[in-house]
Amino acid sequence: MGLLVEGTWTTAGYDTGKGGGRFEREPTRFRNWITPDGSAGPTGEGGFAAEAGRYHLYIARACPWAHRTAIFRAIKGLDEMIGLSVTHWLMGDEGWTFEPAEGVVPDDVNGVRRVFELYKLADPAVSGRASVPVLWDKQRRTIVSNESADIIRMFNDAFDGVGARRGDYYPQDLRAEIDGYNARIYDTLNNGVYKAGFAGSQDAYEEAIVPLFDTLDWLEMHLSDRRYLCGDRLTEADWRLFTTLLRFDPVYHGHFKCNLRRLIDYPALWAYTRALYQEPGIRETVDFGHIKKHYYLSHPWLDPTGIVPAGPDIDFEAPL
Protein backbone atom coordinates (compact mmCIF):
# COMPACT_ATOMS: atom_id res chain seq x y z
CA MET A 1 0.00 0.00 0.00
CA GLY A 2 2.56 2.58 1.10
CA LEU A 3 2.87 6.32 1.57
CA LEU A 4 5.28 9.17 1.01
CA VAL A 5 7.30 10.61 3.88
CA GLU A 6 8.96 13.90 2.89
CA GLY A 7 9.22 12.73 -0.68
CA THR A 8 10.46 9.20 0.08
CA TRP A 9 8.20 6.24 -0.66
CA THR A 10 7.64 3.77 2.18
CA THR A 11 5.55 0.59 2.30
CA ALA A 12 3.63 1.47 5.47
CA GLY A 13 0.04 0.24 5.62
CA TYR A 14 -2.94 1.64 7.49
CA ASP A 15 -2.33 2.02 11.22
CA THR A 16 -5.56 1.43 13.14
CA GLY A 17 -3.80 0.85 16.44
CA LYS A 18 -3.83 4.50 17.50
CA GLY A 19 -7.61 4.85 17.54
CA GLY A 20 -8.73 1.64 19.17
CA GLY A 21 -8.86 -0.15 15.84
CA ARG A 22 -10.76 2.63 14.08
CA PHE A 23 -9.94 3.47 10.47
CA GLU A 24 -9.23 7.18 10.00
CA ARG A 25 -8.95 8.56 6.48
CA GLU A 26 -6.15 11.02 5.87
CA PRO A 27 -7.03 14.48 4.51
CA THR A 28 -6.25 15.23 0.88
CA ARG A 29 -3.16 17.36 0.23
CA PHE A 30 -3.95 19.30 -2.97
CA ARG A 31 -7.07 21.48 -2.93
CA ASN A 32 -6.76 23.97 -5.80
CA TRP A 33 -9.65 24.65 -8.17
CA ILE A 34 -10.16 25.07 -11.88
CA THR A 35 -12.43 28.06 -12.45
CA PRO A 36 -13.75 29.66 -15.65
CA ASP A 37 -11.35 32.62 -15.42
CA GLY A 38 -8.54 31.12 -13.36
CA SER A 39 -9.45 32.96 -10.16
CA ALA A 40 -8.97 31.16 -6.86
CA GLY A 41 -11.67 28.73 -5.80
CA PRO A 42 -12.96 27.96 -2.30
CA THR A 43 -9.52 26.61 -1.33
CA GLY A 44 -5.99 26.79 -2.68
CA GLU A 45 -4.49 29.28 -5.10
CA GLY A 46 -5.61 30.73 -8.41
CA GLY A 47 -4.15 30.38 -11.87
CA PHE A 48 -6.04 27.28 -13.02
CA ALA A 49 -8.32 28.47 -15.81
CA ALA A 50 -10.74 26.17 -17.63
CA GLU A 51 -9.12 25.38 -20.98
CA ALA A 52 -9.66 22.43 -23.28
CA GLY A 53 -6.63 20.15 -23.45
CA ARG A 54 -4.83 21.63 -20.46
CA TYR A 55 -5.74 19.04 -17.80
CA HIS A 56 -5.33 15.31 -17.34
CA LEU A 57 -7.18 12.97 -14.98
CA TYR A 58 -5.58 9.94 -13.34
CA ILE A 59 -7.97 7.33 -11.92
CA ALA A 60 -8.29 3.72 -10.82
CA ARG A 61 -11.40 1.93 -12.07
CA ALA A 62 -11.54 0.09 -8.76
CA CYS A 63 -11.65 3.20 -6.58
CA PRO A 64 -15.11 4.63 -5.78
CA TRP A 65 -13.70 8.11 -5.17
CA ALA A 66 -11.94 8.16 -8.54
CA HIS A 67 -15.03 6.64 -10.16
CA ARG A 68 -17.01 9.77 -9.26
CA THR A 69 -14.66 11.90 -11.34
CA ALA A 70 -14.80 9.53 -14.30
CA ILE A 71 -18.60 9.76 -14.20
CA PHE A 72 -18.58 13.55 -14.23
CA ARG A 73 -16.03 13.60 -17.04
CA ALA A 74 -18.48 11.42 -18.99
CA ILE A 75 -21.80 13.10 -18.20
CA LYS A 76 -20.40 16.59 -18.81
CA GLY A 77 -18.89 15.56 -22.15
CA LEU A 78 -15.33 16.36 -21.12
CA ASP A 79 -13.73 13.30 -22.74
CA GLU A 80 -12.12 15.35 -25.50
CA MET A 81 -11.12 18.21 -23.19
CA ILE A 82 -9.55 16.30 -20.31
CA GLY A 83 -7.24 13.34 -20.92
CA LEU A 84 -7.42 10.13 -18.91
CA SER A 85 -5.00 7.57 -17.53
CA VAL A 86 -6.17 4.42 -15.72
CA THR A 87 -4.05 2.52 -13.22
CA HIS A 88 -3.58 -1.20 -12.74
CA TRP A 89 -6.13 -2.75 -10.39
CA LEU A 90 -3.55 -3.93 -7.83
CA MET A 91 -2.45 -1.50 -5.13
CA GLY A 92 0.67 -3.23 -3.83
CA ASP A 93 3.94 -2.16 -2.24
CA GLU A 94 4.38 0.60 -4.82
CA GLY A 95 0.82 1.86 -4.50
CA TRP A 96 -1.14 2.47 -7.70
CA THR A 97 0.91 1.76 -10.82
CA PHE A 98 0.51 1.70 -14.59
CA GLU A 99 1.89 -1.81 -15.03
CA PRO A 100 0.50 -3.30 -18.26
CA ALA A 101 -2.80 -5.15 -17.90
CA GLU A 102 -6.23 -5.23 -19.50
CA GLY A 103 -7.96 -1.90 -18.99
CA VAL A 104 -4.83 0.03 -17.99
CA VAL A 105 -4.31 3.33 -19.82
CA PRO A 106 -0.68 4.41 -19.28
CA ASP A 107 0.48 7.92 -18.45
CA ASP A 108 1.20 9.64 -21.76
CA VAL A 109 1.62 13.05 -20.11
CA ASN A 110 4.40 12.60 -17.58
CA GLY A 111 5.43 9.05 -18.41
CA VAL A 112 5.41 7.90 -14.80
CA ARG A 113 5.07 4.24 -13.84
CA ARG A 114 3.69 4.82 -10.34
CA VAL A 115 1.15 7.35 -9.10
CA PHE A 116 3.34 8.46 -6.21
CA GLU A 117 5.78 9.87 -8.79
CA LEU A 118 3.10 12.42 -9.76
CA TYR A 119 2.99 13.60 -6.17
CA LYS A 120 6.76 14.00 -6.11
CA LEU A 121 6.68 15.97 -9.36
CA ALA A 122 4.17 18.35 -7.77
CA ASP A 123 6.03 18.57 -4.44
CA PRO A 124 9.39 16.82 -3.97
CA ALA A 125 8.95 16.89 -0.18
CA VAL A 126 5.33 15.74 -0.06
CA SER A 127 4.09 13.41 2.69
CA GLY A 128 0.97 11.25 2.74
CA ARG A 129 -0.89 8.66 0.67
CA ALA A 130 -0.54 8.80 -3.11
CA SER A 131 -4.25 8.40 -3.76
CA VAL A 132 -6.41 8.67 -6.84
CA PRO A 133 -8.01 10.61 -8.43
CA VAL A 134 -5.32 13.08 -9.42
CA LEU A 135 -6.21 16.08 -11.58
CA TRP A 136 -3.04 17.30 -13.28
CA ASP A 137 -2.28 20.66 -14.93
CA LYS A 138 -0.06 20.07 -17.96
CA GLN A 139 0.75 23.78 -18.26
CA ARG A 140 2.02 24.32 -14.72
CA ARG A 141 3.11 20.69 -14.31
CA THR A 142 1.50 20.21 -10.96
CA ILE A 143 -1.49 18.62 -9.23
CA VAL A 144 -4.57 20.79 -9.20
CA SER A 145 -6.48 18.53 -6.81
CA ASN A 146 -6.62 15.02 -5.42
CA GLU A 147 -9.98 15.58 -3.69
CA SER A 148 -12.76 13.85 -5.62
CA ALA A 149 -15.54 15.96 -4.06
CA ASP A 150 -13.87 19.12 -5.38
CA ILE A 151 -13.01 17.67 -8.78
CA ILE A 152 -16.60 16.70 -9.57
CA ARG A 153 -17.74 20.24 -8.76
CA MET A 154 -15.08 21.66 -11.07
CA PHE A 155 -16.22 19.33 -13.82
CA ASN A 156 -19.84 20.27 -13.09
CA ASP A 157 -19.56 23.90 -14.15
CA ALA A 158 -16.02 25.24 -14.71
CA PHE A 159 -15.90 24.11 -18.36
CA ASP A 160 -19.41 25.19 -19.32
CA GLY A 161 -18.03 28.24 -21.14
CA VAL A 162 -15.65 26.18 -23.29
CA GLY A 163 -18.06 23.55 -24.57
CA ALA A 164 -18.96 21.18 -21.75
CA ARG A 165 -22.30 19.39 -22.04
CA ARG A 166 -25.26 21.12 -20.42
CA GLY A 167 -26.35 19.94 -16.99
CA ASP A 168 -25.98 21.28 -13.47
CA TYR A 169 -25.68 18.60 -10.81
CA TYR A 170 -25.16 21.05 -7.95
CA PRO A 171 -27.90 23.64 -8.59
CA GLN A 172 -28.06 26.65 -6.32
CA ASP A 173 -31.59 25.97 -5.07
CA LEU A 174 -30.72 22.41 -3.96
CA ARG A 175 -27.26 22.94 -2.49
CA ALA A 176 -28.28 22.84 1.15
CA GLU A 177 -30.26 19.64 0.56
CA ILE A 178 -27.45 18.05 -1.44
CA ASP A 179 -24.87 18.96 1.20
CA GLY A 180 -27.04 17.36 3.86
CA TYR A 181 -27.31 14.09 1.96
CA ASN A 182 -23.59 14.11 1.19
CA ALA A 183 -22.63 14.61 4.83
CA ARG A 184 -24.60 11.65 6.17
CA ILE A 185 -23.89 9.32 3.26
CA TYR A 186 -20.16 10.07 3.27
CA ASP A 187 -19.68 9.48 6.99
CA THR A 188 -21.80 6.37 7.43
CA LEU A 189 -21.78 4.73 3.98
CA ASN A 190 -19.14 5.97 1.49
CA ASN A 191 -16.50 5.97 4.22
CA GLY A 192 -18.53 3.71 6.51
CA VAL A 193 -17.76 0.61 4.45
CA TYR A 194 -14.05 1.31 4.97
CA LYS A 195 -14.54 1.92 8.68
CA ALA A 196 -16.12 -1.53 8.89
CA GLY A 197 -13.74 -3.29 6.48
CA PHE A 198 -10.52 -1.88 7.90
CA ALA A 199 -11.61 -2.00 11.56
CA GLY A 200 -8.90 -3.37 13.80
CA SER A 201 -11.17 -4.31 16.69
CA GLN A 202 -14.64 -5.71 17.25
CA ASP A 203 -15.77 -2.48 18.91
CA ALA A 204 -14.60 -0.38 15.95
CA TYR A 205 -16.35 -2.71 13.51
CA GLU A 206 -19.65 -2.60 15.42
CA GLU A 207 -19.44 1.20 15.73
CA ALA A 208 -19.30 1.36 11.93
CA ILE A 209 -21.71 -1.37 10.89
CA VAL A 210 -24.76 -0.15 12.81
CA PRO A 211 -24.94 3.39 11.34
CA LEU A 212 -24.02 1.97 7.91
CA PHE A 213 -27.15 -0.18 7.77
CA ASP A 214 -29.23 2.49 9.48
CA THR A 215 -28.36 4.70 6.52
CA LEU A 216 -29.16 1.99 3.97
CA ASP A 217 -32.53 1.41 5.68
CA TRP A 218 -33.22 5.16 5.64
CA LEU A 219 -32.26 5.41 1.96
CA GLU A 220 -34.58 2.52 1.10
CA MET A 221 -37.51 4.35 2.68
CA HIS A 222 -36.47 7.69 1.20
CA LEU A 223 -36.24 6.32 -2.35
CA SER A 224 -39.41 4.25 -2.15
CA ASP A 225 -41.51 7.19 -3.37
CA ARG A 226 -39.05 9.30 -5.37
CA ARG A 227 -36.74 8.80 -8.32
CA TYR A 228 -33.61 10.49 -6.92
CA LEU A 229 -32.42 11.76 -3.56
CA CYS A 230 -33.72 15.26 -4.36
CA GLY A 231 -36.95 14.10 -5.95
CA ASP A 232 -37.04 14.17 -9.73
CA ARG A 233 -33.66 15.90 -10.23
CA LEU A 234 -30.46 13.94 -10.65
CA THR A 235 -27.68 15.58 -8.61
CA GLU A 236 -24.12 15.02 -7.46
CA ALA A 237 -25.49 13.42 -4.27
CA ASP A 238 -26.85 10.55 -6.38
CA TRP A 239 -23.54 9.96 -8.16
CA ARG A 240 -21.58 10.10 -4.91
CA LEU A 241 -23.91 7.45 -3.48
CA PHE A 242 -23.93 5.35 -6.65
CA THR A 243 -20.24 4.44 -6.66
CA THR A 244 -20.58 2.85 -3.21
CA LEU A 245 -23.85 1.06 -3.96
CA LEU A 246 -22.39 -0.37 -7.17
CA ARG A 247 -19.59 -2.04 -5.20
CA PHE A 248 -21.70 -3.13 -2.26
CA ASP A 249 -22.66 -6.68 -3.20
CA PRO A 250 -19.54 -7.49 -5.29
CA VAL A 251 -17.02 -6.48 -2.59
CA TYR A 252 -18.24 -4.67 0.53
CA HIS A 253 -20.80 -7.29 1.58
CA GLY A 254 -18.22 -10.07 1.71
CA HIS A 255 -14.73 -8.60 1.76
CA PHE A 256 -15.55 -5.76 4.19
CA LYS A 257 -18.00 -7.80 6.31
CA CYS A 258 -20.91 -5.43 5.55
CA ASN A 259 -23.18 -8.45 5.52
CA LEU A 260 -26.33 -7.72 7.50
CA ARG A 261 -28.15 -7.31 4.20
CA ARG A 262 -27.29 -7.12 0.51
CA LEU A 263 -28.08 -4.26 -1.85
CA ILE A 264 -30.44 -6.54 -3.77
CA ASP A 265 -32.40 -7.05 -0.53
CA TYR A 266 -33.48 -3.40 -0.79
CA PRO A 267 -35.99 -3.17 -3.68
CA ALA A 268 -35.96 0.62 -4.03
CA LEU A 269 -32.18 0.99 -3.67
CA TRP A 270 -31.55 -1.87 -6.08
CA ALA A 271 -33.82 -0.34 -8.74
CA TYR A 272 -32.25 3.09 -8.14
CA THR A 273 -28.73 1.71 -8.59
CA ARG A 274 -29.68 -0.08 -11.82
CA ALA A 275 -31.31 3.08 -13.15
CA LEU A 276 -28.14 5.09 -12.55
CA TYR A 277 -25.97 2.36 -14.06
CA GLN A 278 -28.14 2.42 -17.18
CA GLU A 279 -27.80 6.19 -17.65
CA PRO A 280 -25.98 7.04 -20.93
CA GLY A 281 -22.21 6.80 -20.62
CA ILE A 282 -22.11 5.24 -17.15
CA ARG A 283 -21.58 1.57 -18.07
CA GLU A 284 -18.37 2.57 -19.80
CA THR A 285 -16.95 3.93 -16.52
CA VAL A 286 -17.44 0.59 -14.71
CA ASP A 287 -14.98 -2.32 -14.68
CA PHE A 288 -16.04 -5.09 -12.29
CA GLY A 289 -12.88 -7.05 -13.09
CA HIS A 290 -10.74 -4.20 -11.77
CA ILE A 291 -13.07 -3.67 -8.81
CA LYS A 292 -13.11 -7.26 -7.57
CA LYS A 293 -9.44 -8.02 -8.20
CA HIS A 294 -8.37 -4.81 -6.50
CA TYR A 295 -10.25 -5.36 -3.28
CA TYR A 296 -9.60 -9.07 -2.88
CA LEU A 297 -5.92 -8.93 -3.87
CA SER A 298 -4.77 -5.54 -2.54
CA HIS A 299 -5.60 -6.25 1.12
CA PRO A 300 -3.80 -9.50 1.98
CA TRP A 301 -4.33 -8.98 5.71
CA LEU A 302 -8.09 -9.25 5.03
CA ASP A 303 -7.94 -12.02 2.42
CA PRO A 304 -4.63 -13.89 2.79
CA THR A 305 -5.63 -16.64 0.35
CA GLY A 306 -5.81 -14.20 -2.55
CA ILE A 307 -8.90 -15.88 -3.95
CA VAL A 308 -11.22 -13.65 -5.95
CA PRO A 309 -14.80 -14.95 -5.57
CA ALA A 310 -16.74 -15.86 -8.69
CA GLY A 311 -19.95 -14.21 -7.51
CA PRO A 312 -22.26 -12.68 -6.84
CA ASP A 313 -24.10 -13.13 -10.10
CA ILE A 314 -26.13 -9.92 -10.31
CA ASP A 315 -27.47 -8.10 -13.35
CA PHE A 316 -27.18 -4.32 -13.38
CA GLU A 317 -28.76 -4.40 -16.84
CA ALA A 318 -31.99 -5.96 -15.53
CA PRO A 319 -35.08 -4.04 -16.68
CA LEU A 320 -36.37 -1.33 -14.38
Name the residues annotated as catalytic: 63, 194
Sheet bearing 82-86, strands edge to edge: 82-86, 55-59, 134-137, 142-145
φ/ψ (deg, to 5) at 9: -80, 135
Helix (H, G, I), strand (E, B) or coil at 128: strand
Residue 300, strand partner residues: none
φ/ψ (deg, to 5) at 166: -65, 150
Helices (H), the chain: 64-75, 115-122, 148-157, 175-185, 192-197, 202-222, 236-247, 267-277, 288-298
Helix (H, G, I), strand (E, B) or coil at 90: coil
Give the DSSP letter of residue 28: P
Helix (H, G, I), strand (E, B) or coil at 55: strand
d(CA 112, CA 102): 18
DSSP-derived secondary structure for 221-233: HHGGG-SBTTBS-
Helix (H, G, I), strand (E, B) or coil at 88: coil
Helix (H, G, I), strand (E, B) or coil at 238: helix
Residues whose CB is less than 8 angstroms from the CB of residue 147 and which lie 6 or more positions away in sequence, other chains included: 28, 30, 31
Give the CA radius of gyration of the chain. Answer: 19
Least Cα distance to 195 among 20, 74, 59, 61 occurs for 20
Helices 175-185 and 202-222, packing angle to 10 deg: 140
